[in-house]
Amino acid sequence: MACPGAWKSWTRRWHSKMETKAGDPGAFARFDLTRVPSPAFVVDEAAIRRNLEVLADVKARSGAKILLALKAFSMWSLAPVIDEYLDGCCASGLWEARLAAGHFKGSISTYSPAYKKTDLEEIATLSEHIIFNNPAQINRWKDQITKEIGLRLNPEIALGETPKYDPSQPHSRLGFPVSQLQASHFDDLYGIHFHNLCEQNFRELEQTWKKIEPVIAPHFDKLKWINLGGGHHITREDYDRDALVRFLSDLKARSGCEIYLEPGEAVALDAGILVGELLDIFDNGMPVAITDISATCHMPDVIEAPYRPAMLGERSDGGPIRLGGPSCLAGDIIGDYRLPEPPHIGQRIAFLDQAHYSMVKTNTFNGVPLPSIWLWNSETDDLRCVKQFDWTEFRDRLS
């Protein structure tokens, strides 16, 4: 049992805020926010391509394969661009596997903490790799699976900035504890999978691998592939890509296995904004504004992580104003900001780095409208609407 001091430290970390990793606004600094209706996601195709070029360089120099993690970025209208650079997709269940098969090229690797029998039958027809959460699942399903079977490991080394987002948190539901792995477990495996990172650099991957390697290295000859999961912020400016390339090349040579990475955020990092508008302003001990952007409905990670998203053009001086969404949830608060100009009703604002996770997590709680989705090319200035929603999206989810 953990000592009281350790538990208090864990509790403090659990309730701490994740720091945004958003970088420079780049071309969005010159984007006219009134060009799109509000609210709206705007994704820069040129920025996506720059990220993909970085990932393709890592692939070329290391010999590793890279899959798009659909759980983070599922914008299938960009599939033709993504297909130019990556090797396929990783899915988290049947619907994502269908999306990958229907719109993307390359292989499909599917992992879920558990499967329904009816889902697994179709997943098996779509996926090249099917990854299970523990050996008991493999024993239950292996006679019905003809595809390559993998096992997700829990490295049991907590490195995440926010504990509740850490796959190695105590009593985690994700992956089989590496300390419980036995030689007999490799008899049914083609591959090993682990995912232990969240918006992190190479050092955390290296630490994770040092925990796993002694256990699986004696069994390299039984494995066909090793999947290092996602959470690698490879396209961030400060990521040590040369060290990653050396590591991947060495691991491929020593293990004799195909090596996979499955980043999602790295594909769309700093490539999208969420545009909103101030609907009302009043004073309640400090200035408060209601926006048509809802943390609850449009940026759930603001509450779930929690974290404070970076604002386009935020000032460093002046008094702050609290921004909240239009829903009736008391906790629908985005944060306190110093706006680029004095607050006024009708003012447009935008939050940075919203292409990944925000778009895939939107919902219509309280009947709050969904943001439209726009594709912009910062090099050509071409702008087009990819998807616009109406109230039937809310109606048709209900009965």
Q: Does the residue 306 lie in any domain?
A: yes
Q: Does the residue 307 lie in any domain?
A: yes
Whether residues 264 and 354 fall in one domain: no
Q: Could you read off the pLDDT tens digit of each residue along the chain, which spans 399 residues?
A: 334 444 334 344 444 566 776 677 999 999 999 999 999 999 999 999 999 999 999 999 999 999 999 999 999 999 999 999 999 999 999 999 999 999 999 999 999 999 999 999 999 999 999 999 999 999 999 999 999 999 999 999 999 888 888 999 999 999 999 999 999 999 999 999 999 999 899 999 999 999 999 999 999 999 999 999 999 999 999 999 999 999 999 999 999 999 999 999 999 999 999 999 999 999 999 999 999 999 999 999 999 989 999 999 999 999 999 999 999 999 999 999 999 999 999 999 999 999 999 999 999 999 999 999 999 999 999 999 999 999 999 999 999
Q: CA nearest 123: which of 89, 166, 93, 81?
A: 93
Check which CATH number belongs to the domain holding 207 and give it.
Answer: 3.20.20.10
Whether residues 76 and 166 fall in one domain: yes
Q: Does the residue 50 lie in any domain?
A: no
DSSP 229-258: -S-B-TTSTT--HHHHHHHHHHHHHHH-SE
One-letter identity of residue 305 = A
Whether residues 68 and 178 fall in one domain: yes
Q: Does the residue 4 lie in any domain?
A: no
HSE toward the beta carbon, residue 163, CA cutoff 13 A: 13
What is the span of the domain harbouring residue 145? 63-268
Whether residues 89 and 199 fall in one domain: yes
- Neighbouring-strand partners of residue 287: 283
Whether residues 183 and 313 fall in one domain: no
Whether residues 368 and 250 fall in one domain: no
HSE toward the beta carbon, residue 164, CA cutoff 13 A: 14
Check which CATH number belongs to the domain holding 339 and give it.
Answer: 2.40.37.10
The total of structural domains in the chain comes to 2
Whether residues 226 and 366 fall in one domain: no
Q: Does the residue 152 lie in any domain?
A: yes
Q: CA nearest 252: which of 59, 52, 105?
A: 59
Whether residues 82 and 226 fall in one domain: yes
Residue 20 phi, psi dihedral angles, 5° rounding: -65, 140
Whether residues 287 and 174 fall in one domain: no
